[in-house]
Structure 1
Amino acid sequence: MKRKSWFCLLALLAATAGAAEPLPAFHGDPKQSSVSGLSSGAFMAVQYQIAYSASVVGVGVVAGGPYYCALGSLSGTTACMSGPPPQAGQLLAGAAQFAAAGRIDPLTHLATRRVYLFSGSQDNTVKTQVVDAAAEFFRLAGVPASQIAYERRLPAGHAQITPAYGNACGATASPYLNHCEWEGRGYDQAGLILKQIYGALLPKAQAPTGRLVRFSQKPYAAAGSSLADEGFVYVPRACADGEACRVHIALHGCQQYAGKVGDAFYVHAGYNDWADSNHILVLYPQTTVSAANPQGCWDWFGYTGPAYAWRDGPQMRALKAMADRLVSAY
Structure 2
Amino acid sequence: MNEDHIPSGHAYPMLGYLPYRCDGPGLLADSPLQNCQYDGPGRALQHIYEGKLADPGLLDRSSLHWFDQEPFYGENNEVTGLDKWALIYVPKVCYTETCDLVVSFHGCGFVFPGMYSWLVAGLDFNEWAWTSTNGWWQAWTSTPGMYSWMVVIYPRLEAHGTSSQFQQGCWNVYGQTGLDYADKGAAQMPAIKKMVDDIPSLKIWDSNLKRPS
Is TM-score (shorter-chain normalized) higher than 0.5? yes
In the alignment, which residue of structure 2 is the partner of 1:191? Answer: 42
Q: Which amino acid aligns with 2:197?
A: D
**Any idea what the Cα deviations from partners look like across 1:165-218, whole Å, max 9, x if unmatched?**
2521024324x11011xxxxx211111111110231121113537511101111
Please point out which of 112, 123, 130 is paired with 1:276. Answer: 130
1:173 matched to 2:30: yes
Q: Give the superposition deviation at 1:288.
A: 1.0
Segments of structure 2 that go 5 or more residues without pairing to the other structure are: 132-147, 203-213
* Structure 1 residues 154 and 274: alpha-carbon distance in aligned structure 2, compared to 1, 3 A threshold: same
CA distance in 2, matches of 1:328, 1:279: 19
Provide structure 1 residue ranges, at least 5 long, that are not aligned to the other structure: 1-148, 181-185
Q: Which residue of 2 aligns with 1:233?
A: 88
Q: CA 1:328 to 1:215, structure 2 compared with 1: closer, same or farther past 3 Å?
A: closer
SS in 1 for 2:127: helix
- Give identity over the alignment, percent: 30
The alpha carbon displacement at 1:253 in A equals 0.6
Partner of 1:106: none
Question: What SS class does the counterpart of residue 233 from structure 1 fall into?
Answer: strand
**How far apart, CA to CA, are the structure 2 residues paired with 1:313 and 1:154?**
34
- What TM-score does the superposition give when structure 2 sets the normalisation length? 0.74
In the alignment, does 2:107 pair up with 1:266?
no
Structure 2 Cα separation of the partners of residues 328 and 228 of structure 1? 18
**Which digits, 9 at most, give the CA deviation of each residue in 1:203-257, with x for residues without a partner?**
11135375111011111013121111111100011102x1111111111110034
Q: Find the partner of 2:186 among 292, 313, 320.
A: 313
Deviating runs (4+, > 6 A) in structure 1? none
Q: Give the 5 Å matches for 1:201-212.
A: 201-208=53-60, 211-212=63-64
In structure 2, do the counterparts of structure 1 residues 215 and 246 end up closer, same or farther at CA, with 3 Å as the change threshold? Answer: same
1:162 aligns with 2:28: no
Change (3 A) 1:234 1:207: closer
> Structure 2 vs 1, CA of residues 294 and 201 (structure 1 numbering), >3 Å: closer, same or farther?
same
CA RMSD of superposed structures (Å) = 2.1
SS at match of 1:150: coil
**Aligned residues of 2:59 and 2:126 also touching (Cα < 8 A):** no
**TM superposition shift of 1:296:** 0.9
Structure 2 equivalent of residue 286 of structure 1: 156
SS in 1 for 2:130: helix
| 1:307 Cα deviation after fit | 2.9
